[in-house]
Structure 1
Amino acid sequence: MDKTDVTFRTAGREDTGLILDFIKKLADYEHMTEDVVATEELLREWIFDKKKAEVLFAVAEGQEVGFALFFHNFSTFLGRAGIYLEDLFVLEDKRGRGYGRALLAQLARIATMRGCGRLEWSCLDWNEPSIEFYLSLGAEQMKEWSGYRLAGDTLRRAAEL
């Protein structure tokens, strides 16, 4: 892929259905389809009304071929914001053409332009193709850190402590 073969655009409210479609395709790839409870209404509220996340599309030949959903986090050690990449997905028939690399490069440019100190994300342990891809970019695997989560009932119980 030549760099001129892909452009990027920020999602707007009118893209909510497309965002949900990408999320469902990602969930299918990750064998987590049953975990998707997002709706267009929820996405519109949290992404566009409350402005808690942003979505970037990679566009090639007039078609959205990939997406990245991200938001700002904050590093107390760096004393500045960073970008956390929640999801990156390229359509199956468009993989291997450099669109994922282009999306990550665009996110790195956004982080740099905004003065962010880092770009971070998580990857499922079994997803070897993605892990190899990230390592090929020079990404550092954070082996000394483990992710933790409170969600659903455990989140509600923690709120009652």
Structure 2
Amino acid sequence: MTVGQGIAGAAFTLRDAEPADLPEILRIVRELAEYERLGHAAVATEEDFGRLLFGPAPLLHAVLAEREGRVVGGALWYNNVSTFTGRPGIHLEDVYVEPRHRGLGIGRAFFRHLARLALERGWARLDWQVLDWNEPAIRFYEGLGAAALDDWRGRRVSGDALRRLAE
């Protein structure tokens, strides 16, 4: 558990998610999807998150921000691996803070928490993606010292294309 003191003394707490948090996790993921104009793609259920986060071999991890006794944001991450360094890293899949709680230092606290976790465990890096139109997030990430990987282009195969490829 990490206790943060944000701007103007706004207190918040970061903590690892627990099974009872599944409705809140689903809520923040869907709010993020709406913000990113991808609400139609957010089809995961509480059961899906339950398996991913708390199943026999968890593939996903979640850290939640609480303020005044309620969840106001979250960071969902999983391990990736760098074959070049021979070490794991963190891929931050989602980071979200409710709009009315932005500017209090919660987002920075999520990144600080994950950076410390990576260093404590001897991991190589912290990666994430940002949509090219999300200027407020891009400015925030630049303020953290994040380097843009503009020469790398993401690719994805899913849905029917994934099925065709598998045939």
TM-score (norm 2): 0.91
Aligned to 2:156: 149
**Residue identity in the other structure for 1:9:** R
The question of 1:61 aligning with 2:57 is answered: no
In structure 2, C-alpha distance between the alignment counterparts of 1:56 and 1:97, rounded to whole Å = 17
Aligned: 1:110 with 2:136? no
- State the 1:4 CA deviation: 8.4
- Taking only the aligned residue pairs, the percentage that are identical comes to 45
Q: In the alignment, is the contact (CA less than 8 A) between 2:10 and 2:104 conserved in 1?
A: no
Counterparts of 2:149 and 2:69, CA distance in 1: 37
Q: Report the equivalent of 1:11.
A: 17
CA distance in 1, matches of 2:151, 2:32: 27
Ranges in structure 2 where 5+ consecutive residues have no aligned partner = 1-5
Secondary structure class of the residue paired with 2:80 = strand
Q: Equivalent residue for 1:22?
A: 28
Instruction: Output one character per residue of 1:110-139: Cα deviation in whole Å (capped at 9) or x when no partner.
Output: 111111100000000000000000001100
CA distance in 2, matches of 1:112, 1:60: 27
Structure 1 unaligned segments of length 5 or more: list them. Answer: none
Quote the Cα distance in structure 1 between the aligned partners of 2:135 and 2:163.
Answer: 34
Give the aligned residue type for 2:43.
V
Deviation digits for residues 90-115 of structure 1, max 9, x if unmatched?
00110111110111111111111111
Q: Structure 2: how far apart are the matches of 1:96 and 1:4?
A: 10
RMSD between aligned residues: 1.4
The partner residue of 1:32 within 19, 31, 38 is 38
126, 135, 138: which one aligns with 1:131: 138
